[in-house]
């Protein structure tokens, strides 16, 4: 009996098309993840990660399991429902069948089908490894177990658990609505849950892994800190090793158990009798019977048998009637949609998603910001967009097919009404629905702003974004879907095509089809900024939207001509009809064709003719070409810049500037220099002249590299003056990729727009995958410390040491223009605003920027050691939130740095806001451009939260010492002398501002960033003192190492070392310091027992594995407590290949006992103990009853499992 149901189910599944569609879908999906780097999660990750390695297969399996929720629901949910939909239950349940046979057979059939379908995931990935065009450097040998293990342990368990859930729900409810929606519902609830969890930025790594029912979090927890080597060799392990011992096993056991329990529940509750299975149907039947009896009631009334005459009516046809018909149809269609549950379900989910996303609109880059309108719109619209598109596609199909689906077409199609009216009414109905959903989105946005405590509502901005930018796109999608649905013979094929076009968009984009003119509905990228509004993105957006709207409307005209009417189904028949219908449509078609061609042509002219249209690949080619052609000149002796004088006129309205400049160049080498090499990345330079005879002997095709030969070589020690004109003109508009440097309000460009001496190695591609594609050799390591050439080069500006700097800059009359230097003059002439800045004789790095904007300015004077210091913040009037906090952090920073390091070398420190097209802050001499998106709208909600404004301000200020006083040579390690020391300085400012307890939060945060950074390393990790390009080392690890060192040997000792080092090496010229001197300076201030910290911290990569095994307390007779801590400590050194080697222990580690609520503990006991054994027990006496205790409680040491350092203390 069981076998019969099972085989029946299998036969049914094997006969149904959907089974094969699902299978092919999975095969294709995983095929692409291997065969195309531009697809899937792994492709975009680290360039050394195997595409068919164990980690890749695990990730593919878990994504298949996640997105497959809907497929699992579709397969399992329908299997019992089928009997009720097709009324076969009456036949079935009147036969003697057992519950086991029925449920078990159906379930097993679905399970086997589902497993078979998902096996496509393995097949596809395996096939992908044979694709000739794939990146075979990233494809290893195929191991069967690497495919099978993730499939069995993730996908099959998932199918078992979720399948049983959907099966049980389907069997118990037997409602089509629930069965079809449960998959989507579970999927969405899960996605929302995950978003919420991730947004809390929790570092909890046990329960979040165990309780994750689907697996995305679980895998993140398990593999969070895996290195590339581990990802290429390890499968998720069921044992108790690794960084999250047991989590995988517990998770799989838990959810398999839940699956079994669900099966039990179904067994217990599923009734095997027609009577109880059909209660609900009986209710429906009763309602119908009632209606019919009402009808009979009417029929019994004696009606006259004499023939009646119907009243005479008049038919009127004409434009007015067309309008009335249109309105009647439209309102009927809108009413029908609004009366359907699916619409409200979609609306409810949209609201739920928007509420959720909106709630996190104030979280940005791991910290809180004010939910300003653009962030809120972006959040709510981002979550609504999917649903707006679903509604467009879904209702386009529903409306095109509704008459046929309801078999009302016979009546509808014979009505005296034009096809255009019908089409327009369908479009209007969709428009109305979308408009309502957009209004909901907007209301949610404003509601969430209110909830988040931000009440500066900018309704106009909502309306602009939602109704002027998004609405046309959504309606374009609707028109496109209507067109597709009109032409295809079947609604589901239509859905397939529409979804295909939508899903493939990013894929084809990655394959280089980046023009917004090609793929249906593509619009150029744009960014809203409070400083600029839509700014310079408006024309591109406007023409693109016009182009696509006209093009889709043209498809609309075709749809009208091809509208299905009557029984004609053959394409030839419909084409004939369309041809006959066309003449009256011709004017509209002609007009739309003209609009499409006109708007598209104008767009093309701007994006492709007036501007170079460069795809990402083109841009890579340009960089690779530059490296290939000119790398050979890298070591060529060149003069250094010693003075810069520039006169720059900024034209914000046209996003342009022009000017003139003079560089003084000096030959600081011992040999004559015959030719001067220049890089001109943006081709801004013209009319370049030297103060002596010379000629242009080479100009690259792109004009990005120029060689001028001097008639007489520049002798050692001699100088030459180079003068030139500069101009950058923004012409028309581009297809996205607008230069972020130029804005109508908030211009900010730097030395990249000036000629640069020699070959610029910053232009080199650093992603190994891209280098392989371009057939470039592996990136060269930086020169070792002490290198005879590079030690003489400035790390940041290899073509200069220190310069004198003078500039005149002008801008629009209502803007302020800023460049480094002390203001000399400020005047207005010819409707322009002029400023003159001069750096005087202060040592100034050859690193300057020009800014212009409509700023409000806050000024104050700080009493510095060497005289008053002007503190200034230039900000957008809408962003006043943190101006005070920035000034406060600046004062705190100046206090600390002047006291501990050296006096501030400048008499001003200025922060200026720039538009959020770029999100960073950067330290130019006494000038810090700071993005609108980070500090200016940052918000510290909770005193324990990261205070990003203060942190970034203190960090950038510290660069005035570490980067503008002290600069290392162009060798390994030098980057940490600016970034790590700035990070350390900022830590200390934070500690002064917020107290010592606050630092645990910071350490934990940056520890996680370091560990994740090293897990994503594409090349190899370097020790701190030899760091090259690894920013997670110089920021996140560096700060931690320095902070811990200060904690161990004393803050004053570290600062003394830094002071000594700074005073000996600042303003270096000709020979630059490197980390050997820094490490030595620290070493001399470190007592012998802590010397190992210097070696471990700077010269090695060392990881601890500290853990508390047990913690018990015992109340003594005197009321105090004996606390016994059983702790474990291990330490490993990681070599260049990422392999770990155990190290002997003789380390000092904190042992602590705490009291208080979780995360608010106060220490009862804290002592640094020397630990020499892997396992040691400490017994201490404390005054109060302890709650928590353990080893290295503040996470001062780098430890991949930071959560197990302390545990709850149990009382005995």
Partner 1 sequence: MTLKITGLSKTYPNGVQALKNLSLTIGNNMFGLLGPNGAGKSSLMRTIATLQEADAGTIDLDGLNVLTQKDEVRKVLGYLPQEFGVYPKLSALDMLNHLAVLKGITAAGERKSMVEALLQQTNLWEVRKKALSTFSGGMKQRFGIAQALLANPKLIIVDEPTAGLDPTERRRFLNLLASIGRDVTVILSTHIVDDVRELCARMAIIAAGQVLLEGAPGEALRVLDGQIWSRIVKTDDEMCSLESSLRVLSSHLVEGQHEIRVFAPSAPGPGFLPVPSSLEDVYFQRLSQQQQA
Among the residue ranges 211-219, 300-308, 981-989, 1117-1125, the one whose residues contact partner 1 (CB under 8 A): 300-308
Among the residue ranges 400-408, 670-678, 1083-1091, 1104-1112, the one whose residues contact partner 1 (CB under 8 A): 400-408
| Helices 54-67, 69-85: inter-axial angle, 10-degree rounding | 40
Q: 320 vs 829, which CB is nearer to partner 1?
A: 320
Question: Which residue from 257, 283, 366, 410 is in contact with partner 1, where contact means CB under 8 A?
Answer: 410
Residue 696 CA, distance from chain mean position? 45
Is residue 91 part of the contact set for partner 1 (CB under 8 A)? no
Among the residue ranges 20-28, 142-150, 408-416, 451-459, the one whose residues contact partner 1 (CB under 8 A): 408-416
Question: Which residue from 96, 132, 298, 788 is in contact with partner 1, where contact means CB under 8 A?
Answer: 298
Tokens standing for 757? Answer: 């001496």
- Contact assessment for residue 242 and residue 222, using Cβ atoms and an 8 Å cutoff: yes
Compute CA distances 11 → 65, 77, 105, 119, 396, whole Å.
Answer: 25, 17, 12, 18, 35
Question: Which residue from 309, 829, 1141, 1212 is in contact with partner 1, where contact means CB under 8 A?
Answer: 309
Residue 886 CA, distance from chain mean position? 27
- Contact assessment for residue 381 and residue 362, using Cβ atoms and an 8 Å cutoff: no
- Contact assessment for residue 560 and residue 423, using Cβ atoms and an 8 Å cutoff: yes
Question: Which residue from 4, 204, 295, 880 is in contact with partner 1, where contact means CB under 8 A?
Answer: 295
Among the residue ranges 102-110, 293-301, 496-504, 769-777, the one whose residues contact partner 1 (CB under 8 A): 293-301
End-to-end CA distance of the chain: 59
Compute CA distances 248 → 62, 209, 708, 773, 1202, whole Å.
Answer: 13, 8, 65, 37, 18
Question: Which residue from 142, 200, 202, 292 is in contact with partner 1, where contact means CB under 8 A?
Answer: 292
Question: Which residue from 273, 276, 570, 1117 is in contact with partner 1, where contact means CB under 8 A?
Answer: 570
Beta bridge partners of 657: 650, 728
Beta bridge partners of 928: 911
CB of 424 to partner 1, least distance (A): 14
> What 3-state DSSP class applies to 872?
strand
Is residue 770 part of the contact set for partner 1 (CB under 8 A)? no
Tokens standing for 262? Answer: 């669900």
Dist. CA 613–CA 1075, nearest whole Å: 44
Tokens standing for 1189? Answer: 């205790």
Residue 614 CA, distance from chain mean position? 23
- Contact assessment for residue 159 and residue 118, using Cβ atoms and an 8 Å cutoff: yes
Dist. CA 620–CA 610, nearest whole Å: 21
Q: 287 vs 1181, which CB is nearer to partner 1?
A: 287
Q: 318 vs 831, which CB is nearer to partner 1?
A: 318
Question: Which residue from 44, 130, 317, 492 is in contact with partner 1, where contact means CB under 8 A?
Answer: 317
Is residue 406 part of the contact set for partner 1 (CB under 8 A)? yes
Is residue 575 part of the contact set for partner 1 (CB under 8 A)? no
- Contact assessment for residue 749 and residue 671, using Cβ atoms and an 8 Å cutoff: no
Q: Which residue has the tokens 């780097």?
A: 37
Dist. CA 874–CA 858, nearest whole Å: 7
Is residue 319 part of the contact set for partner 1 (CB under 8 A)? no
Among the residue ranges 332-340, 434-442, 465-473, 1115-1123, the one whose residues contact partner 1 (CB under 8 A): 332-340
Question: Which residue from 7, 328, 712, 824 is in contact with partner 1, where contact means CB under 8 A?
Answer: 328
Is residue 1141 part of the contact set for partner 1 (CB under 8 A)? no
Q: 268 vs 305, which CB is nearer to partner 1?
A: 305
Q: Which residue has the tokens 């300057």?
A: 848
Q: 489 vs 840, which CB is nearer to partner 1?
A: 489
Q: 144 vs 567, which CB is nearer to partner 1?
A: 567
> CB neighbours of 191 closer than 8 A, spacing ≥ 6?
none
Among the residue ranges 284-292, 348-356, 498-506, 1040-1048, the one whose residues contact partner 1 (CB under 8 A): 284-292
Question: Which residue from 20, 44, 408, 579 is in contact with partner 1, where contact means CB under 8 A?
Answer: 408
Tokens standing for 896? Answer: 């600390």
Q: What are phi and psi of 1104, to 5 degrees?
A: -100, 155
Among the residue ranges 89-97, 150-158, 409-417, 629-637, the one whose residues contact partner 1 (CB under 8 A): 409-417
Among the residue ranges 1-9, 188-196, 372-380, 405-413, the one whose residues contact partner 1 (CB under 8 A): 405-413
Question: Which residue from 285, 288, 456, 828 is in contact with partner 1, where contact means CB under 8 A?
Answer: 288
Is residue 311 part of the contact set for partner 1 (CB under 8 A)? yes
Is residue 394 part of the contact set for partner 1 (CB under 8 A)? no
Q: Which residues 594-653 are close enough to bind partner 1 by CB under 8 A?
A: none
Question: Which residue from 310, 460, 670, 863 is in contact with partner 1, where contact means CB under 8 A?
Answer: 310
Is residue 345 part of the contact set for partner 1 (CB under 8 A)? no
Length of the chain equals 1212
DSSP state of 488: S
> What 3-state DSSP class applies to 928?
strand
Question: Which residue from 15, 95, 320, 1212 is in contact with partner 1, where contact means CB under 8 A?
Answer: 320
Among the residue ranges 314-322, 649-657, 861-869, 1022-1030, the one whose residues contact partner 1 (CB under 8 A): 314-322
Q: Taking CA 231 as the corner, what is the angle to CA 227 and CA 235, rounded to the nearest 5 degrees? A: 135
- Contact assessment for residue 170 and residue 76, using Cβ atoms and an 8 Å cutoff: yes
DSSP state of 737: -
- Contact assessment for residue 1047 and residue 1090, using Cβ atoms and an 8 Å cutoff: no
Question: Which residue from 349, 577, 726, 816 is in contact with partner 1, where contact means CB under 8 A?
Answer: 577
Is residue 144 part of the contact set for partner 1 (CB under 8 A)? no
Is residue 567 part of the contact set for partner 1 (CB under 8 A)? yes
Q: What are phi and psi of 1125, to 5 degrees?
A: -115, 120
Q: 325 vs 473, which CB is nearer to partner 1?
A: 325
Q: Which residues 413-432 are close enough to bind partner 1 by CB under 8 A?
A: 413-418
647, exposed or middle or buried, with CB in 10 Å at 0-12, 13-18, 19+?
Answer: middle
CB of 432 to partner 1, least distance (A): 17
Is residue 1059 part of the contact set for partner 1 (CB under 8 A)? no
Is residue 503 part of the contact set for partner 1 (CB under 8 A)? no
Q: 565 vs 1012, which CB is nearer to partner 1?
A: 565
Question: Which residue from 17, 144, 268, 411 is in contact with partner 1, where contact means CB under 8 A?
Answer: 411
Strands 800-812 and 832-838: antiparallel
Question: Which residue from 273, 279, 315, 1210 is in contact with partner 1, where contact means CB under 8 A?
Answer: 315
Secondary structure (H, E, C), 547-560: HHHHHHHHHHHHHH
Is residue 297 part of the contact set for partner 1 (CB under 8 A)? yes
- In order, the DSSP letters of 557-591 are HHHHHT---TT--SHHHHHHHHHHHHHHHHHHHHH
Dist. CA 67–CA 503, nearest whole Å: 14
Q: 468 vs 575, which CB is nearer to partner 1?
A: 575
Q: 491 vs 621, which CB is nearer to partner 1?
A: 491
Q: How many residues bind partner 1 (CB under 8 A)?
A: 56
CB of 184 to partner 1, least distance (A): 22
CB of 412 to partner 1, least distance (A): 8
Among the residue ranges 236-244, 283-291, 469-477, 1046-1054, the one whose residues contact partner 1 (CB under 8 A): 283-291
CB of 391 to partner 1, least distance (A): 19
Compute CA distances 868 → 861, 865, 888, 907, whole Å.
Answer: 6, 8, 16, 6
> What 3-state DSSP class applies to 1191?
strand
- Taking residue 1's Cβ as centre, other Cβ atoms within 10 Å add up to 13
Q: 256 vs 322, which CB is nearer to partner 1?
A: 322
Q: Which residues bind partner 1 (CB under 8 A)?
A: 287-288, 291-292, 294-295, 297-299, 303, 305, 307-317, 320-321, 324-325, 328-329, 332, 335-336, 339-340, 402, 406-408, 410-411, 413-418, 565-570, 572-573, 576-577, 580
């Amino acid at each position: 009996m069981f076998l019969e149901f099972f085989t029946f189910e299998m036969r049914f599944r094997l006969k149904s098309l959907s089974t094969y569609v699902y299978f092919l879908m999975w095969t294709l999906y995983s095929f692409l993840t291997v065969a195309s780097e531009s697809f899937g999660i792994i492709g975009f990750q680290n360039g050394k990660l195997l595409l068919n390695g164990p980690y890749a297969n695990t990730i593919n399996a878990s994504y298949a399991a996640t997105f497959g929720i809907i497929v699992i629901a579709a397969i399992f949910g329908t299997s019992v429902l089928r009997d009720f939909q097709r009324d076969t239950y009456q036949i079935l349940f009147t036969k003697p069948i057992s519950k086991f046979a029925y449920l078990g057979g159906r379930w097993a059939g679905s399970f086997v089908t589902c497993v078979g379908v998902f096996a496509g995931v393995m097949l596809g990935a395996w096939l992908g490894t044979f694709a000739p065009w794939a990146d075979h450097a990233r494809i290893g040998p195929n191991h069967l177990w690497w495919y099978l293990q993730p499939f069995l342990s993730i996908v099959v368990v998932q199918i078992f658990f979720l399948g049983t859930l959907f099966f049980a729900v389907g069997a118990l409810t037997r409602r089509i609505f629930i069965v079809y929606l449960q998959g989507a519902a579970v999927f969405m609830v899960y996605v929302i849950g995950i978003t919420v969890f991730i947004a809390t930025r929790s570092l909890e790594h046990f329960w979040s892994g165990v309780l994750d029912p689907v697996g995305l979090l679980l895998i993140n927890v398990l593999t969070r800190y895996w290195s590339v080597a581990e990802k290429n060799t390890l499968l998720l392990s069921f044992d108790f090793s690794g960084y999250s011992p047991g989590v995988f096993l517990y998770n799989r056991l838990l959810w398999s158990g839940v699956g079994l329990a669900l099966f039990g529940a179904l067994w217990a509750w599923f009734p095997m009798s027609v009577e109880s299975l059909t209660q609900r149907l009986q209710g429906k039947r009763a309602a119908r019977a009632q209606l019919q009896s009402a009808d009979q009631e009417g029929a019994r009334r004696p009606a006259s048998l004499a023939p009646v005459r119907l009243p005479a009516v008049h038919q009127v046809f004409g434009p007015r009637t067309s309008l009335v018909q249109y309105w009647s149809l439209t309102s009927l269609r809108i009413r029908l949609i609004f009366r359907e549950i699916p619409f409200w379900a979609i609306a409810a989910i949209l609201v739920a998603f928007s509420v959720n996303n909106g709630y996190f609109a104030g979280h940005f880059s791991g910290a809180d910001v004010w939910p300003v309108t653009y962030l809120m719109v972006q959040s709510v619209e981002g979550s609504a967009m999917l649903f707006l598109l679903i509604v467009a596609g879904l209702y386009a199909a529903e409306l095109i097919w509704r008459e046929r689906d309801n078999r009302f077409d016979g009546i509808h199609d014979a009505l005296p009404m034009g096809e255009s009216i019908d089409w327009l009414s369908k479009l209007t109905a969709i428009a109305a629905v979308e408009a309502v959903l957009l209004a909901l989105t907007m209301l949610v946005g404003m509601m969430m702003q209110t909830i988040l405590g931000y009440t500066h509502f900018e309704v106009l901005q909502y309306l602009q974004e939602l109704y002027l930018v998004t609405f046309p796109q959504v309606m374009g999608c609707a028109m496109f879907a209507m067109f597709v649905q009109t032409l295809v013979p079947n609604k589901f094929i239509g859905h397939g095509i529409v979804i295909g076009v939508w899903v493939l968009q990013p894929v084809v984009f990655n394959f280089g089809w980046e023009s917004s003119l090609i793929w249906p509905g593509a619009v150029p990228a744009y960014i809203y900024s409070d400083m600029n509004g839509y700014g310079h993105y408006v024309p591109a957006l406007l023409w693109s939207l016009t182009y696509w709207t006209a093009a889709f409307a043209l498809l609309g005209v075709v749809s009208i001509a091809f509208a299905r009417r009557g029984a004609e189904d053959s394409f030839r028949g419909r084409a004939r009809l369309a041809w006959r219908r066309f003449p009256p449509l011709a004017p509209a078609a002609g007009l739309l064709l003209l609009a499409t061609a006109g708007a598209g042509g104008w767009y093309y002219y701007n994006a492709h003719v007036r501007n170079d249209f460069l795809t990402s690949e083109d841009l890579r080619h340009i960089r690779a070409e530059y490296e290939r052609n000119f790398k050979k000149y890298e070591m060529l002796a060149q003069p250094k810049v010693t003075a810069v004088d520039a006169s720059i006129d900024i034209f914000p309205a046209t996003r342009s500037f022009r000017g003139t400049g003079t560089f003084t160049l000096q030959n600081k080498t011992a040999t004559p220099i015959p030719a001067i090499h220049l890089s001109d990345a943006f081709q801004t330079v013209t009319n370049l002249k030297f103060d002596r005879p010379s000629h242009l002997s080479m100009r690259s095709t792109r004009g990005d590299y120029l060689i001028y030969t001097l008639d007489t070589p520049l002798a050692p020690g001699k100088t030459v003056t180079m003068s030139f004109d500069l101009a950058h003109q923004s012409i028309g508009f581009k297809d996205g990729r607008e230069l972020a440097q130029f804005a109508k309000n908030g211009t900010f460009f730097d030395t990249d727009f000036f000629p640069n001496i020699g070959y610029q190695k910053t232009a080199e591609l650093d992603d190994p995958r891209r280098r392989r594609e371009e057939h470039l050799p592996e990136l060269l390591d930086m020169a070792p410390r002490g290198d005879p050439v590079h030690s003489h080069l400035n790390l940041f500006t290899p073509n200069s040491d220190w310069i004198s700097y003078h500039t005149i800059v002008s801008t629009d009359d209502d803007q302020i223009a800023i460049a480094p230097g002390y203001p000399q003059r400020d005047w207005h002439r010819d409707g322009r605003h002029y400023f003159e800045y001069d750096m005087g004789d202060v040592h100034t790095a050859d690193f300057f920027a020009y800014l212009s904007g409509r700023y409000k300015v806050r000024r104050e004077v700080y009493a510095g050691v060497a005289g008053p210091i002007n503190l200034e913040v230039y900000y957008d009037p809408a962003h006043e939130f943190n101006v005070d906090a920035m000034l406060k952090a600046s004062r705190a920073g100046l206090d600390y740095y002047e006291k501990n390091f050296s006096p501030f070398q400048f008499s001003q420190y200025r922060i200026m806001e720039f538009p959020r097209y770029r999100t960073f802050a950067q330290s130019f001499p006494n000038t810090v451009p700071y993005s609108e998106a980070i500090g200016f709208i940052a918000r510290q909600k909770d005193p324990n939260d990261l205070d990003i404004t203060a942190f970034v301000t203190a960090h950038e200020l510290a660069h005035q010492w570490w980067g503008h006083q002290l600069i290392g040579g162009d060798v390994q390690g030098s980057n940490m002398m600016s970034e790590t020391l700035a990070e350390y300085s900022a830590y200390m400012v934070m500690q002064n501002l917020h107290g010592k307890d606050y630092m645990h939060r910071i350490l934990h945060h940056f520890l996680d960033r370091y560990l994740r950074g090293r897990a994503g390393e594409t090349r190899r990790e370097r020790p701190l003192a030899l760091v090259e390009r690894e920013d997670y080392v110089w920021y996140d690890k560096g700060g931690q190492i320095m902070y811990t060192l200060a904690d161990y040997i004393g803050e004053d000792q570290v600062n003394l070392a830094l002071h000594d080092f700074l005073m000996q090496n600042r303003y270096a010229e000709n020979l630059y310091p490197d980390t050997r001197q820094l490490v030595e300076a620290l070493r001399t201030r470190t007592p012998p027992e802590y010397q190992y910290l210097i070696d471990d911290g700077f010269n090695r990569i060392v990881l601890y594995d500290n853990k508390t095994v047990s913690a018990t307390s015992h109340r003594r007779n005197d009321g105090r407590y004996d606390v016994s801590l059983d702790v474990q400590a291990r330490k490993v050194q990681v070599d260049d290949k990422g392999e770990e080697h155990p190290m002997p222990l003789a380390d000092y580690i904190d042992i602590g006992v705490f009291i208080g609520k979780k995360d608010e503990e106060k220490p009862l006991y804290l002592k640094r103990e020397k630990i020499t054994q892997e396992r040691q027990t400490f017994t201490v006496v404390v005054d109060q009853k302890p709650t928590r205790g353990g080893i290295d409680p503040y996470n001062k040491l780098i430890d991949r499992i930071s959560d197990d350092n302390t545990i709850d203390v149990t009382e005995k």
